[in-house]
Amino acid sequence: MKALSLFANIGVAEAYLNEIGIEVTVANELIERRAQLYSKIYPEAKMIAGDIMSDVIFKKIINVSKKKKIEIVMATPPCQGMSTAGQQQIDDTRNYLILPVIEIVKELNPKYVFIENVPNFLNTDIAIDGERILIPDLIRKELEKNYVINIYTVNTQDYSVPQVRERAIFLLTRKDQKHEWVLPKKEAAIVTMRDAIGDLPFIDPYIKDVTEEERQKIFPEYERRKKNALEISHWNIPPHHVKRQVIAMQHTPTGCTAFDNPEYYPIKDDGTPVKGYRNTYKRQNWDTAAYTVTMDNRKISSQNNVHPGRLIGKDNEGRELYSDPRTLTLYELMIIMSLPTDWPVPKSTSEAFLRRIIGEGIPPLFVKKVFMNIFSEE
């Protein structure tokens, strides 16, 4: 089956679809840099770069999709206007991107439609002809004549993804189809961080604000561990951090925040205590799925970003020391996001750029399992 991917970014969502007989033949992405990388990863797809709200781009999407005989539309519009991590401004222009999606569905009349966003998508209203309407009610109003519409709130950890990530999912089935598209059943076992990355070796961070001599004193095994890490993957890169944050995390146990440390409390560059949320300066847990990967996943000072670590001994003052006082490497993030480890991203791609993109995406293993259910007769 042939699919159109709207708000495609660099194609995180569709990483496995070709394996199950779904070919994304047309894609649209606003930002040129992302569109170019998408084309390098998926050279067989026709990428239409530009603003979907533009009449020219909209018509091009329609015309190319009709020629390609698109049967599935998948839309993953930006969530920043609705996410609890954002400002949630009323009438954020990004909240209105559902409108061209609805019009494209009307024009193409595909067999199936997949729409996903943050859970607050279900509670967001927009102004249409002077009246406010919830986005789910608008979708029903405009499309339920021709489509069976199933709406879900899901957590991707229920589908073998080693990450807690809640999403709103719309599965639309054209009424002339024999098989109604529904969500697959939840899976009993949770894939934990230990399952996902527990077999990877220790990696020390690169401390960027000290001399080479001091860096060697703090992490005498840095170069050897870096070499071992990069033998696993080009993307298994030791992150860069500042000394004061690294020292705090060295003394922070698995699953805990450095704000609970009686000593080695997080401090600013001037030595004063940091004021922050308890989900920052926080190590993840080995025996649960990872916390939601955010766009700001490079920072120790951001939400739930620090490697779980392992107890490795004590310092000269008898205090416990933990390994991996750092954020996750990009390779570890790819695993947590359920991306294929051989995903063909050019090695010249910026690590910072990729980190941000991954934080915006939906885990592709979950998408694969949902799309497999198109072919299920259960």
Q: Are strands 311-314 and 320-322 parallel, antiparallel or unpaired?
A: antiparallel
pLDDT attached to residue 93: 77
Could you give the 3-state DSSP secondary structure of residue 206? strand
Q: What rounded mean pLDDT belongs to the chain?
A: 94
Q: What is the pLDDT of residues 83-104, one digit of tens each?
A: 444 444 567 677 899 999 999 9
79 in active site: yes
What domains sit in the chain, N to C, each tagged with a CATH number?
Answer: 2-189+362-372 (3.40.50.150), 201-235+238-328 (no CATH)
pLDDT attached to residue 206: 97
Give the pTM.
0.93
Residues 6+ positions from 102 with CB-CB distance below 8 Å: 138, 139, 142, 143
* 233 contacts 210 by C-beta, under 8 angstroms: no
Q: What is the pLDDT of residues 167-188, one digit of tens each?
A: 999 999 999 999 999 999 999 8
Q: Which of 1, 74, 79, 200 is catalytic?
A: 79
Distance CA 17, CA 124 (A): 29
Distance CA 100, CA 212 (A): 54
pLDDT attached to residue 85: 47
Q: How many CB atoms lie within 10 A of CB 166?
A: 14
* 91 contacts 127 by C-beta, under 8 angstroms: yes
pLDDT attached to residue 84: 46
pLDDT attached to residue 80: 53
